[in-house]
Every structure is written in structure tokens, then in C-alpha cells.
């Protein structure tokens, strides 16, 4: 990273990541594989650095959403198995095979296309079959009257030339939600998944090598769903109620600095639209953190940022590149003082709740112009700025 601008930055604690991984490993047991979800740039944490650490720690698989994300990892020297959860055009099958990337198969049409391309290329494409047990998104539909048709379609895919059906998986819709209805729905999904596996394996006369369905919620709440592999997402990064239950540590902290301080008289309106009016002589700080950095505008005038003297209310509408915070009475906070947006003093869940969203969205929204600092043992071991120079 060539930029020396100390503007807004994210600190990625690789020690916390290691702790979380090792803690989850102990919880799931030594016989269960671990898939680290690193799609969407590892939820904003940096897929290459997180993937590299997962490989170093001994994880069994990584998951991404697209071939571009997979190739980014391969080009960075990451050699461990990678599963693409989303769609890959048939024209890219040769690259999947060449780079040893596993592809999700979600329907008969895609299975046939992938098979034909693999045969044409003269190779074998490793695939995981996706079963739709109630997420109603991707996968072979096997519910109710569709059961036999779904089972037949999956068995057909597994026997197509050029495909190696290593695994089968599904995704839970409400495993992270409380209540008897959600518990019943999750257990129904799991039972349907097991029934599909049993029927397909009986029809094929052989077993899948990897069966997986446990996302973050299921990893914590439904240990019976572990099967051969778990794939925790947000849990690995230490956010949310389930991470708190297991004592995991947040991996990302987002920080900025005070760039300007001005004194305004009572009655002064602040920022676009004048939605905040100073009710007294006000010491107002400007921080270089705005919606282009990932600060949701919906949080305008509703949240606080943390300084060395505690929380300071954000005032007025959040701008593209900056926002204002009320430093009245916080006289030791000066130009250049560090400000925590979220981290050890203010959990990301606080901002997520105020914005009416989930922590995933907050961390994924941290934009590419925010440099990432990677720390181990308290020292910066790598810096990355995604902007091109």
C-alpha cells in the first residue's frame, strides 16, 4: 500500500481470527471438516489474507461466490480446496478444472452443461450438489411431490461423465432465528436433507464423501447437523449473538481520526438539510468517514462514535466523505485524535441494530478505499489498499 493518508482504516486482528477458528474447531470435534466462508472479500476482511490464514491453520475448504473470487485466491498462492457457491458459466469449466476449483451444481440443466464441457476439455470437474430443502433459492427441489424427481435428478448428475460428485449440501433458512416455528422448520430441512442423501446414495450404490449444511446458526444451535463439514460465516469473524455465546472475538475494528474542529453558536444548523440544530455553543468535530466509506446514511443523527473521552453523538446528515460528531465537553479530543467507529468499545452490532440491518451488511459495506491493516501479536504485518495507483 503506497498511500500514507491516515484517514479511515480497518484493523484486521489475525490473532482473533486464529482464536475463533481454534475455538470453533474444538466445539465441532476433530472428525468434522471446517469450511471457511470467504466470499464477498471475506465479508470485507480481505479474502486473500483470511484465506491464507485459514490454509495456515489447517482449514479443509474455503467457499466463495464466483469464479473470479476463486481465481483471486489461486493467484495469491492459496492451494486448498475452494467451493464456488454461485453460478459459473459453462464456458469457464476448463478454468475450474485447470485450477482445481469445486463447483456447486444446482439443477439438471447446469449438471448437463458442466458435464459436456468437462468431457470436451478432457478433464473431471469436482462438484457439490445443492439441495433446496426450504431456502427457496438455489438447488434441486425435493420437497413433497418433488422428492422422487429431485432424487432422480441428483443421481443422474452424479453419474454424468466428467463430473466427480464429491459432496452434497443444503442451506438453512432460519437456523439463526429463535422460536419453536424456526426450530421446527430447521429440523424439517435437516430431515429432508438426510432423506434425500439416503435415497440418492441408495440409487447410486455409493456414498458422498462430504455432506454439509451447518451454517453459523446451526453450528451453534444444532450440533446434530454437523455431518462431515460445517461452514460458519459470521461466526468465524466473531460477530453476532452466537459469537458472544461461544466467547469469540471480533476480527475487524474500523477507525478514523478527527480532521477539523469548529465552534458553532447555539442555533447553527449542521450538514445537508439542516436536520440537526445546535442547542448550545457546540464544539463540532469533522471526521473523514462517510457513506462512500460504508457509513450508512440511514444512521444520520442516530448513532455515536467512540473517542478517548467516550461516545460522541454523530450530528446532521452523513456526507459522502465525512460526517460530524459533537465534541462538546470532550476537550482532550483534538485534531488527529483517533476515533473508533466500531470495535472493542462499540460493537458492530450496535450500528447494525440502529440501521435496522445485520452485522454482515455493515462489515461488507466497508469500501475499497478504506485500507486494511493486518495485525498479529499487536504488530502490523501487512497493509492493503484496494485503490489502484
Note the pLDDT tens digit of each residue in 221-240: 999 999 999 999 999 999 99
Mean pLDDT of 206-232: 98
pLDDT band at residue 290 under the 50/70/90 scheme = very high
Check 266, 269, 272, 383 and give the catalytic one: 272
Q: Does pLDDT of 3 surpass 60?
A: no
Mean pLDDT of 176-198: 97
Check 39, 110, 126, 317 and give the catalytic one: 39
Annotated active-site residue 373? The verdict is: no
pLDDT band at residue 385 under the 50/70/90 scheme = confident
Mean pLDDT of 203-218: 97
| Residue pLDDT, tens place only, 90-145 | 999 999 999 999 999 999 999 999 999 999 999 999 999 999 999 999 999 999 99
pLDDT over 70 for what percent of the chain?
Answer: 97
Mean pLDDT of 154-163: 98
Q: How far apart are CA 265 and CA 244, in angstroms?
A: 43
Give the 3-state DSSP-derived string for 176-245, with helices as H, strands as E and coil as C. Answer: CCCCHHHHHHHHHHHHHHHHHHHHHHHHHCCCCCEEEEECHHHHHHCHHHCCCEECCCHHHHCCHHHHHH
Instruction: Give me the pLDDT at residue 371, please.
Output: 95
Annotated active-site residue 306? The verdict is: no
Asked if residue 30 lies in contact with residue 349, where contact means CB atoms within 8 angstroms, the answer is no
Q: Does pLDDT of 389 surpass 60?
A: no
Domains by residue range for the chain, with CATH: 32-236 (3.20.20.10), 252-384 (2.40.37.10)
Instruction: Give me the pLDDT at residue 338, please.
Output: 97
Residue scoring higher pLDDT (386 or 156):
156
Nearest 5°: the CA angle 33, 39, 43 is 105
Instruction: Give me the pLDDT at residue 1, please.
Output: 39
Torsion of CA 42, 44, 49, 50, to 10 degrees: -40
Give the annotated binding-site residues: 137, 320
pTM of the model: 0.94
Give the annotated binding-site residues for substrate: 137, 320
Amino acid at each position: 500500500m503506497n498511500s500514507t493518508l491516515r484517514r479511515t482504516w480497518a484493523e484486521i486482528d489475525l490473532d482473533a481470527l486464529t482464536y475463533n477458528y481454534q475455538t470453533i474447531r474444538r466445539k465441532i470435534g476433530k472428525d468434522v471438516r471446517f469450511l471457511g466462508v470467504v466470499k464477498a472479500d471475506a465479508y470485507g476482511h480481505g479474502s486473500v489474507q483470511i484465506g491464507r490464514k485459514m490454509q495456515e491453520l489447517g482449514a479443509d475448504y474455503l467457499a466463495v461466490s464466483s469464479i473470479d473470487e476463486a481465481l483471486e485466491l489461486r493467484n495469491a498462492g492459496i492451494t486448498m480446496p475452494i467451493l464456488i457457491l454461485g453460478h459459473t458459466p459453462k464456458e469457464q469449466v476448463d478454468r475450474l478444472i485447470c485450477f482445481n476449483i469445486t463447483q456447486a451444481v444446482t439443477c439438471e440443466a447446469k449438471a448437463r452443461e458442466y458435464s459436456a464441457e468437462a468431457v470436451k476439455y478432457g478433464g473431471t470437474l469436482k462438484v457439490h450438489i445443492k439441495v433446496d430443502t426450504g431456502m427457496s433459492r438455489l438447488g434441486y427441489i425435493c420437497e413433497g411431490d418433488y422428492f422422487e424427481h429431485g432424487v432422480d435428478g441428483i443421481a443422474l448428475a452424479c453419474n454424468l461423465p466428467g463430473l466427480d460428485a464429491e459432496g452434497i449440501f443444503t442451506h438453512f433458512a432460519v437456523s439463526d432465528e429463535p422460536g419453536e416455528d424456526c426450530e421446527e422448520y430447521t429440523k424439517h430441512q435437516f430431515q429432508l436433507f438426510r432423506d434425500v442423501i439416503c435415497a440418492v446414495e441408495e440409487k447410486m450404490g455409493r456414498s458422498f464423501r462430504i455432506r454439509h449444511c451447518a451454517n453459523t446458526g446451526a453450528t451453534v444451535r444444532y450440533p446434530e447437523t454437523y455431518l462431515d463439514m460445517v461452514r460458519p460465516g459470521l461466526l468465524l469473524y466473531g460477530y453476532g449473538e452466537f459469537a458472544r455465546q461461544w466467547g469469540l472475538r471480533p476480527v475487524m475494528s474500523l477507525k478514523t481520526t478527527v480532521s477539523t474542529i469548529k465552534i458553532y453558536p447555539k442555533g447553527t444548523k449542521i450538514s445537508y438539510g439542516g436536520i440537526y440544530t445546535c442547542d448550545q455553543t457546540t464544539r463540532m468535530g469533522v471526521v473523514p468517514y462517510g457513506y462512500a466509506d460504508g457509513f450508512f446514511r440511514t444512521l444520520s443523527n442516530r448513532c455515536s462514535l467512540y473517542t478517548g473521552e467516550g461516545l460522541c453523538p454523530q450530528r446532521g446528515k452523513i456526507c459522502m466523505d465525512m460526517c460530524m460528531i459533537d465534541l462538546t465537553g470532550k476537550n482532550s479530543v483534538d485534531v488527529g485524535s483517533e476515533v473508533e467507529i466500531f470495535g472493542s468499545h462499540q460493537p458492530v452490532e450496535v450500528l447494525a441494530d440502529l440501521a435496522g440491518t445485520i452485522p454482515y451488511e455493515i462489515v461488507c459495506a466497508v469500501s475499497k478505499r478504506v485500507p486494511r491493516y493486518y495485525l498479529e501479536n499487536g504488530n502490523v504485518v501487512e497493509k492493503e489498499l484496494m485503490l489502484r495507483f
